[in-house]
């Protein structure tokens, strides 16, 4: 006769939980699957038994039955170096994770290389995830576009292809940039420049449009425009080009705080003072705004809340609940010492 000397015990089963709780197997199944019609007292009893027995639901079997993976992908069509250098991405992923913590879904992050878009498309269409969140998209992306609505998708920012059926969450970038530029005008600045973002991305396009509307609305020319790519170095280089064009610039709006911080280094290296000689306003209200001296006046962009809202809408879509197609979140101006 042989004996099991491994010391292991069989994993608790649904039937064992039912016997421990004194309820039927079907009741335990309904509790495990979060069926809303179960009496709250029964839920409490069953959950107590689950905890005491250390029962772990068989999520593989549940996924096969429901045809769900309980996984969501966040796709970022950017280089790895940019993703890990930009606090925007950390904040939006933080918001997504905060919402998913309260659900059964896990998060997969896909930093999508546009050199091999078919790899990402194959993953997204291969039954690996229940839904997709797309952050920082551009004109010409191929890794996530044209997925024929399956799996469900939510974008950070309006789509640039005019897709009327897209679900997305954004701030009113044009209106926020208009307000930031008006602040500079109200402070008496009259030779305004902009370090705009990439013009193949919604924030780059819309923030430039808002700046131009404010400047031209004040009867000034909107000619002092240089384009960056939302990085610190591109902001410094763009500011060099602007001052080479016109040394009398007295204000600059940068389309994000990283580029504003880069502009600081150029302005100060030219022997100019912020804000006495050149006032600066940024966009995002992230760590870069607090890392510069004087601290940066900027548009507060609710990035964590934006990520949470994206995840909420996607989970609603996956689970068949009504969801708003377009959500716009409010911005505000954070006044510091750079204007």
Q: Write out pLDDT tens, residues 293-318.
A: 999 999 999 999 999 999 999 999 99
Of 78, 288, 305, nearest to 170 by C-alpha is 305
Percent of the chain at pLDDT above 70? 89
What CA–CA distance (Å, rounded) separates 163 from 144? Answer: 14
Most confident of 19-33, 73-87, 234-248: 234-248
> How far is Cα 49 from Cα 16, in angstroms, rounded to an integer?
9
In angstroms, the CA 68 to CA 262 distance is: 45
Sign of CA pseudo-dihedral 128, 131, 133, 137:
positive
- Is-contact 262 230, C-beta < 8 A? no
> CB 151: neighbour CB atoms within 10 A?
20
Where does CATH 1.10.260.40 sit in the chain? 14-57
Tens digit of each residue's pLDDT (9 = 90 or more) over 146-198: 665 578 999 999 888 766 678 999 999 999 999 999 999 999 999 999 999 99
Give the integer Cα–Cα distance in Å for 34 and 231.
45
Structure confidence at residue 117 as a pLDDT band (50, 70, 90): confident
**Phi, then psi, of 99 in degrees rounded to 5:** -70, -45
Residues of the chain with CATH 3.40.50.2300: 71-171+304-327, 173-301
173-301 CATH fold: Rossmann fold (3.40.50)
pLDDT at residue 144 greater than cutoff 80:
no
**Per-residue pLDDT at 38:** 84
Is 14-57 a domain of CATH 1.10.10.10? no
Tokens of 30: 């309904």
Task: Tell me what the mean pLDDT of segment 229-237 comes to.
Answer: 97
Q: Three-state DSSP class for 217?
A: helix
Least confident piece of the model among 25-34, 164-173, 234-243: 25-34
Q: β-strand 153-156 against 168-171: which pairing, if any?
A: parallel
Contact assessment for residue 104 and residue 318, using Cβ atoms and an 8 Å cutoff: no
Please tell me the predicted confidence (pLDDT) of residue 62. 52
Give 72's strand partners.
Answer: 107, 131
Quote the pLDDT of residue 147: 65
The pLDDT assigned to 3 comes to: 45
Spatial distance between the Cα atoms of 114 and 142, rounded to a whole number of angstroms: 7
Which listed CATH number (3.40.350.10, 3.40.50.1370, 3.40.50.2300, 3.90.1150.10) goes with 71-171+304-327? Answer: 3.40.50.2300
Q: What is the pLDDT of residues 202-221, one digit of tens each?
A: 999 999 999 999 999 999 98
List the structure tokens of 115.
Answer: 């050199």
| C-alpha atoms less than 13 angstroms from C-alpha of 30 in its C-beta half-sphere | 15
Nearest Cα neighbor of 57 from 94, 37, 30, 91 is: 30
Counts for the chain of helices (H) and strands (E), in that order:
13, 12
- Fill in the DSSP letter of residue 188: T
Per-residue pLDDT at 4: 45
Query: Does 65 have pLDDT greater than 80?
Result: no
Three-state SS for 38? coil
Helix axes 25-32, 14-21, angle to 10 degrees: 110
Confidence (pLDDT) at 148: 56
What mean pLDDT is predicted for residues 65-91?
Answer: 85
Q: Give the residues across from 59 on adjacent strands.
A: none
Is the model's pTM score more than 0.85? no
């Amino acid at each position: 006769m042989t004996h099991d000397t491994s010391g292991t015990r069989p994993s608790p089963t649904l039937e064992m939980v039912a016997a421990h709780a004194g309820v039927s197997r079907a009741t335990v199944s309904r509790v495990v699957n979060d069926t809303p019609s179960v009496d709250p007292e029964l839920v409490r009893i069953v959950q107590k038994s689950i905890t005491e027995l250390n029962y772990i639901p068989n999520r593989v079997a549940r996924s096969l039955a429901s045809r769900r993976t309980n996984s969501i992908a966040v796709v970022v069509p950017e280089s790895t170096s940019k993703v890990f250098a930009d606090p925007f991405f950390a904040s939006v992923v933080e918001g997504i994770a905060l919402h998913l913590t309260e659900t059964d879904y896990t998060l997969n992050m896909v930093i999508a290389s546009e050199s091999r878009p078919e790899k990402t498309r194959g993953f997204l269409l291969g039954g690996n995830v229940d839904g997709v969140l797309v952050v920082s998209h551009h004109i010409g992306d191929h890794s996530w576009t044209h997925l024929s609505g399956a799996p469900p998708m939510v974008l950070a920012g309006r789509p640039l292809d005019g897709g009327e059926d897209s679900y997305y969450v954004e701030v009113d970038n044009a209106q926020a940039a208009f307000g930031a530029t008006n602040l500079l005008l109200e402070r008496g600045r009259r030779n305004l420049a902009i370090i705009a973002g990439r013009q193949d991305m919604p924030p780059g396009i819309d923030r430039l449009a808002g700046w131009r509307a404010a400047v031209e609305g004040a009867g000034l020319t909107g000619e002092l425009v240089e384009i960056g790519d939302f990085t610190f170095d591109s902001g410094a280089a763009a500011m060099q080009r602007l001052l080479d064009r016109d040394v009398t610039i007295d204000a600059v709006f940068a389309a994000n705080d990283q580029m504003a911080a880069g502009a600081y280094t150029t302005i100060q290296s030219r022997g100019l003072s912020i804000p006495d000689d050149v006032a600066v306003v940024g966009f995002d209200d992230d760590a870069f705004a607090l890392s510069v001296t004087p601290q940066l006046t900027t548009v507060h962009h609710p990035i964590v809340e934006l990520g949470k809202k994206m995840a909420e809408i996607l989970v609603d879509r996956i689970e068949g609940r009504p969801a708003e197609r377009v959500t716009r979140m409010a911005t505000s101006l954070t006044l510091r010492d750079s204007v």
